[in-house]
Structure 1
Amino acid sequence: MEDEDFGKVKNYALKLLSLRPRSVREMENKLSSYLARKKYPAGFLEKLIAELTRLNFLNDLEFARWWAEQRGRANIKGKTFIKKELQSKGIDREVIAEVLSALGTEDEYEKALQLAGKKFSKLALDRQSEQKLGRYLQNRGFSYDVVRKVIDSLSQRG
């Protein structure tokens, strides 16, 4: 009976992982609530996390790389925003630093410029618009240096 129950929990975990990659902490949270809801033994959690990690279904480094790529490409977010999201998902500081260093500053500048162009293409950049653009970009996780570079670039064009 216990093997059958463990199999059900494992199937649930694999279903979650088939939807999208997840961090170890995300899986721990999802599985612990599932175990409590279904009244399965709490010991399944540690056993299943260990097995999924051993099989490389759970890998925080690979998850962090995937997450940063998705957030940077699809949602156009800056490094600071991505860093906060990864921290909230339980990713280790060293892993976050490694992943963010691979993103590159020039790439971040291009993303910020693209985002600014979409949002503020029709505005003349007076002082108030520059401040608004600066807040907009910083709220999306771009560093002050990148924001300043984007504003300077758009001011020279306009």
Structure 2
Amino acid sequence: MSSWGKNNPDHAPKKYWSLGEAKGKLETYCAYQERCQWEVRRKLHEKGIYGEQAEALIAELIAHNFLNEERFARSFARGKFRLRHWGKSRITRELKLRQISPRCIQYGLSEIDPEEYWDTLLSQAEKKWEKTSEKDSFKKNYKVISYLIGRGFEQDLVQEAVASVSSRQSQ
């Protein structure tokens, strides 16, 4: 059994930050990678800073351009699409979870090239089609479609891509 956990007496409690310390650490935290306000609030809460103090720190980070929701949404959408091969639905859901405004979500999704999106969807469909060892073509279609919808691709595009892949494979 792991020694990590809430009931471990040897585990030291989390170290809280002072306000001065928090400002420097948050600047480093935001400079390392694009962050959103939700992530910064969560980090501040972990470190024992709440309410008006947290909001003042966030306002200062925004003023000094360490935090920018539009820039975050664009970076997030680009990265999750290109590296993780997520579809637009999944990216939108994750951005909403992080409390990003609908306008910024649209800016983020505009970073995805429609041709590249279709090519990625087709390649993901082909890979899953090859890996799925199902004899019944109806079940195989269902499994591939379920997988792609789970990755966040839109159902109409998924159906079209799977139809394209299955027709090529059956020839």
TM-score category of the 2 structures, normalised to the smaller one: 0.7 to 0.9
**CA distances 1:29-71 after superposition (whole Å, capped 9, x unpaired):** 21133134xxxx7543122111110111100000000000110
* Pairs aligned (count): 151
Q: Out of 65-74 and 46-55, give the one that drifted further.
A: 46-55
Partner of 1:119: 128
Q: Out of 127-136 and 97-106, give the one that drifted further.
A: 97-106
Q: Out of 24-33 and 102-111, give the one that drifted further.
A: 102-111
SS of equivalent to 1:35: coil
For the residues of structure 2 that align with 1:17 and 1:136, how far apart are their CA atoms?
34
Map 1:6-155 to 2 at 5 A.
Answer: 6-36=19-49, 42-121=51-130, 126-155=137-166
For the residues of structure 1 that align with 2:120 and 2:148, how far apart are their CA atoms?
10
Letter in 2 for 1:24: Q
| Higher helix proportion (structure 1 or 2) | 1
SS of equivalent to 1:121: helix
Shift of 1:132: 0.6
Contact 1:108 1:142 in 2 (8 A): no
The gaps in structure 1 that reach 5 residues or longer are none
SS of equivalent to 2:47: helix
The gaps in structure 2 that reach 5 residues or longer are 1-17
Higher relative contact order (CA closer than 8 Å, sequence separation 6+): 1
Contact 2:39 2:98 in 1 (8 A): yes
**Percentage identity across aligned positions?**
31
Shift of 1:106: 3.1
